[in-house]
Chains A and B, each alone.
Chain A
Amino acid sequence: MNPSLASRHSWFEATARKRVAGLLDPGSFSEVLPPAESSPSPHLAKLDLPGAFDDGIVIGCGQLGKKPIFVAAQEGQFIGGAVGEIHGAKLVGLLKWAVREKPAAVLLLIDSGGVRLHEANAGLIAISEIMRAVLAARAAGVPVLALIGGSCGAFGGMGIVARLCSAILMSEEGRLALSGPEVIETVAGVEEFDSKDRALVWRVTGGKHRYLMGDCAMLVEDEISAFRAAATAFLADWQEPTPSVGLLRATQRQLEHRLTAYGAYRDGLQIWAELGVKNPESVPLLDRDSLVALKEGLPT
């Protein structure tokens, strides 16, 4: 076997537990509510569906570059990483604990389609509690980073949660949006959005598009070690800003500008052209380093 292949550890292909183990300093992770102590979802049990012992999320603490870090990782293979009541409660508990303990950061390894529809209201309430808890942690001065590069991306409520974080680190394989492609197609029709067109889906929600739009702070290779290096580098230069109305207004102005400038467009290609990319068609084929160089050369 090609040795470079053997030494690769894809973030996209890894389970939540593998991601956590490879992201933090080796052997430093200590799980809170491990599978033997956690409870599977009572809602799924009522529907006669098998639950997961950890309800699809791994939480705990560890170290990154010897700094204390809290981490939560969603398991995308279990019902699309969807947020149920216990899953959400574990994440909220971790964030509230962070407000008290003040670790150097909380890392959210998001891999989720959003609310677990089987748990309806409990899942929706969980999402709103997570949103509030992310903001509470940030207000306490604890940076919260979203790491997105799993097969389920970050959609629905978890897309909102990701955008509430201090910053987003993303691979090309990652996706970020509110309504997922299938949802848009179901609600508005295939003329509005063809969810089977995978290239289109990535041109509208994928990591490269989010990076060009400035929605994610860093674009990283699909490697566990690349996410580790990016999170370490980001935190080294990051000071969590004090929340202020001025910051919110500035973000609001940016979003209004985006809507005016791009609201009528239907494809990432059109937006990239507007951003000043000379050959938008070439963007999907660029490797990570070339895309980062391209973005740095764009007019601001």
Chain B
Amino acid sequence: MLCGVVGSGNLEILLNAGDLPNQCVVEIKTAARGFADTWQAVIGAFAAAHPAGGTRIAINDMGATPAVVSLRLAQALAEYQGGVQ
């Protein structure tokens, strides 16, 4: 499941089935350096708020804001789970 585009202030998320049902593995490639803490917080909040276990998430980011990242993550998971059902 792919959502988003690698455009200015945007990102793309590729979401696939992961290996472990209680784990969500996230790999991030980004143009913006020095935002590790922010990424940690956004991904942590996403994992706490959504049933994201059993997924592998790859992100290509072109400077998306935390709010955009959160929305795209929720969108990718919703579309993935909608497609699986």
Per DSSP, are chain B's interface residues mostly helix, strand or loop, or mixed? Answer: strand
A-B contact pairs, 26 of them (CB 8 A): A15-B5, A34-B2, A35-B2, A35-B12, A35-B14, A36-B16, A50-B6, A50-B30, A50-B31, A50-B60, A50-B61, A50-B62, A51-B6, A52-B5, A52-B6, A52-B12, A52-B60, A53-B2, A53-B58, A75-B5, A77-B5, A77-B6, A77-B7, A77-B8, A78-B5, A78-B6
Scan B1-45; emit 1 where CB is below 8 A from any A CB, else 0.
010011110101010100000000000011100000000000000
Distance in angstroms between the alpha carbons of A54 and B12 in the assembled complex: 10
B residues at A contact (CB < 8 Å)? 2, 5-8, 10, 12, 14, 16, 29-31, 58, 60-62
Distance in angstroms between the alpha carbons of A77 and B7 in the assembled complex: 5
Name the 10 nearest CB pairs between A and B, nearest first: A77-B7, A52-B6, A50-B60, A50-B29, A35-B2, A77-B5, A78-B6, A50-B31, A53-B14, A35-B14
Instruction: Determine if A120 is an interface residue (Cβ-Cβ < 8 Å).
Output: no
Scan A166-202; emit 1 where CB is below 8 A from any B CB, else 0.
0000000000000000000000000000000000000
Closest chain B residue to A58, Cβ basis: B2
Min C-beta distance of A90 to chain B, whole Å: 15
Instruction: Determine if A49 is an interface residue (Cβ-Cβ < 8 Å).
Output: yes
Residues of chain B within 8 A of A54, CB atoms compared: 2
Instruction: Determine if A42 is an interface residue (Cβ-Cβ < 8 Å).
Output: no
For the A-B complex, the count of residue pairs with Cβ-Cβ distances under 8 Å equals: 43
Other A-B pairs beyond A50-B29, A53-B58, A56-B6, 15, CB < 8 Å: A17-B2, A35-B2, A35-B12, A35-B14, A36-B16, A51-B60, A52-B60, A53-B2, A53-B14, A54-B2, A75-B5, A77-B5, A77-B6, A77-B10, A78-B7
Instruction: Determine if A68 is an interface residue (Cβ-Cβ < 8 Å).
Output: no
Scan A266-289; emit 1 where CB is below 8 A from any B CB, else 0.
000000000000000000000000
Closest chain A residue to B32, Cβ basis: A50
Residues of chain B within 8 A of A52, CB atoms compared: 5-6, 12, 60
Given A15-B5, A35-B14, A77-B7, A51 and B58 contact (CB-CB distance below 8 Å): no
Scan A26-41; emit 1 where CB is below 8 A from any B CB, else 0.
0000000011100010
Does the CB pair A40–B7 fall under 8 Å? no
Residues of chain B within 8 A of A75, CB atoms compared: 5, 7
Distance in angstroms between the alpha carbons of A18 and B58 in the assembled complex: 21
Which of A15, A51, A78 is the most central at the interface, judged by chain B CB atoms within 10 Å of its CB?
A78
Min C-beta distance of B60 to chain A, whole Å: 4
